[in-house]
Amino acid sequence: MLAQLGAKVSPLVRLREWDMVFGINSDGVSLHTFYATTRRFNPTILLVKDTRGGVFGGFATEEWRAGKHFYGTGESFLFRFGVSRCSCAWESRRAEGWMCSAGAPAAI
């Protein structure tokens, strides 16, 4: 899956070695724990597998945090994996921010 995302991120990000820093099996499902565990990491890739086996997520250029305003850059994007492709979008003209969380829910 990460290989499919590679073409959608900058060359510098593509060269990174990725490690899993948070997982619900080891860290639980608390959003507060997610923020605390991922605080020092950016960029990050959030992968979610739903109950039907679908995989979706987001690429975030800044660390995840609670806040009242959107943050991030136009390089942040959402994606979903279909049967044989990855749907991704990056709108470089929109660089004022994409990520927001004013409490428990988070939005990209």
pLDDT at 26: 94
H helix intervals, 1-108: 2-6, 11-14, 24-27, 31-38
- DSSP at 52: T
- DSSP at 102: S
Nearest one of 36, 56, 37, 54 to 45, comparing CA atoms: 56
Cβ neighbours of residue 62 under 8 Å, at least 6 residues apart? 42, 43, 71, 72, 73, 76, 99
pLDDT at 91: 55
pLDDT at 70: 83
pLDDT digits (tens, 9 = 90+) for 70-94: 888 888 888 888 754 455 555 555 5
pTM of the model: 0.69
Which residues of the chain register pLDDT less than 70?
Answer: 1-2, 83-108
